[in-house]
């Protein structure tokens, strides 16, 4: 589904990604763990084209976002990025739009879906996320967990093939970790691949199909926790 080969990225003289290789299979939930400063977030941002890398390849399905250090054309980038959803650590909801408007904004503006249809789809998504009653609320009226679900819903509305989560448990009450894990697992039913960045090991074990760890700009131990997981 997602193939990353030999990805390099530096900020000035500070190399952050030093030859990252990573593969995510269709429908897989891959969790990247590791200490902060290890390059996890930069990797996630690079996949979402929020950071530009100097060399390497990023390929989604059969489409190269980045091939041997060269980015796809503007149009192709747009098409490829449409298949990738991202849930930010602090959600980045649009505070001046209601929950339903947050979700319909992209489908109506980007995909050109009629407002009625987009609203109906958004209501279905909200139902799936257990937020039916919150359609007309504004982000500031929601709890952290609810905001996160809206952020997930907003990304879901574009039907991405790959969903990325940046530290999904960091802004939440620890008691909600199980809920988030279950929610992410339930998205798997929709056939999406998922890439999760976290340093919460407990959460990683709960949610992952596979865990890799990342430190000093490299995926250091591809199957670090696999045995433990299959053994349990």
Partner 1 sequence: MDMINNIFEYTLLLMPQVLEGLEITLKLFALTLIFSIPLGILLALGRLSRFKLVKALTSLYIVVIRGTPLLLQIVFVFFGLPLIGITFDRFPAALFAFSLNYGAYFAEIFRAGITSIDKGQYEGAEVLGISGRETFFHIIFPQALKRVLPPVGNEVVTLIKDTALVYIIGLDELLKVGKIACNRDSSLIPLIIIAIVYLILTAILSKIMTVIEKKYDYYQ
Does residue 168 sit in helix, strand or coil?
Answer: coil
Question: Which residue stretch of 102-110, 126-134, 176-184, 214-222 sits at the interface with partner 1 (rule: CB under 8 A)?
Answer: 102-110
Element (H, E) at 81: helix 74-81
What is the spatial distance between Cα 136 and Cα 133, in angstroms, rounded to a whole number? Answer: 8
The reply on whether position 106 binds partner 1 by CB under 8 A is yes
- Identify which of 103, 1, 90, 93 has the alpha carbon closest to the alpha carbon of residue 41: 90
Query: What does the alpha-carbon distance between residue 231 and residue 89 come to, in Å, rounded to a whole number?
Result: 31
Strand partners, 14: 11
Q: How far is the CB of 40 from partner 1 (least distance, A)?
A: 17
What whole-number distance in Å separates Cα of residue 160 and Cα of residue 173? 27
At a CB cut-off of 8 Å and minimum separation 6, what does 112 contact? none
Is position 215 an interface residue for partner 1 (rule: CB under 8 A)? no
Residues 115-144 as x/- pattern, contact with partner 1 by CB under 8 A: -----------------------xxx----
- Closest separation in Å from C-beta 102 to partner 1: 9
Contacts with partner 1 by CB under 8 A: the residue count is 26
**Residues 58-87 within binding reach of partner 1 (CB under 8 A):** 78, 81-82, 84-86
Cβ contact 142:98 at 8 Å? no
The CA-atom distances, in angstroms, between 115 and each of 104, 122, 165 are 8, 10, 27
The reply on whether position 109 binds partner 1 by CB under 8 A is yes
- List binders of partner 1 among 136-195 (CB under 8 A): 138-140, 154-155, 158
Q: x/- string (CB under 8 A) for partner 1, residues 9-48? A: ---------------------------------------x
Which of 25, 94, 115, 127 lies at the binding interface for partner 1 (CB under 8 A)? 94
* Binding stretches for partner 1 (CB under 8 A): 48, 50, 78, 81-82, 84-86, 88, 90-96, 105-106, 109-110, 138-140, 154-155, 158
């Amino acid at each position: 589904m997602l193939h990353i080969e030999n990805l390099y990225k530096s900020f000035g003289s500070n190399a952050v990604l030093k030859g990252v290789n990573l593969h995510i299979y269709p429908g897989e939930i891959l969790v990247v763990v590791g200490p902060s400063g290890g390059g996890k977030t930069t990797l996630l941002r690079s996949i979402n084209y929020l950071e530009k890398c100097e060399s390497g390849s990023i390929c989604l399905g059969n489409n190269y976002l980045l091939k041997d250090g060269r980015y796809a054309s503007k149009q192709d980038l747009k098409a490829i990025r449409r298949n990738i959803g991202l849930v930010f650590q602090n959600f980045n909801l649009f505070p001046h739009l209601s929950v339903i408007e947050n979700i319909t904004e992209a489908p109506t503006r980007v995909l050109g879906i009629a407002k009625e249809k987009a609203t109906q789809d958004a209501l279905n998504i909200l139902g799936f996320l257990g937020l039916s009653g919150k359609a007309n609320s504004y982000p500031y009226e929601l709890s952290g967990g609810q905001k996160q679900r809206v952020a997930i819903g907003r990304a879901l509305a574009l039907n991405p093939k790959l969903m990325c989560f940046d530290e999904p448990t960091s802004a939440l009450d620890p008691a909600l970790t199980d809920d988030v894990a279950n929610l992410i697992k339930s998205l798997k039913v929709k056939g999406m691949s998922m890439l999760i960045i976290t340093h919460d090991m407990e959460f990683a074990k709960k949610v992952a199909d596979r865990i890799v760890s990342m430190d000093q700009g490299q995926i250091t131990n591809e199957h670090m926790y696999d045995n433990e997981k299959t053994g349990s």
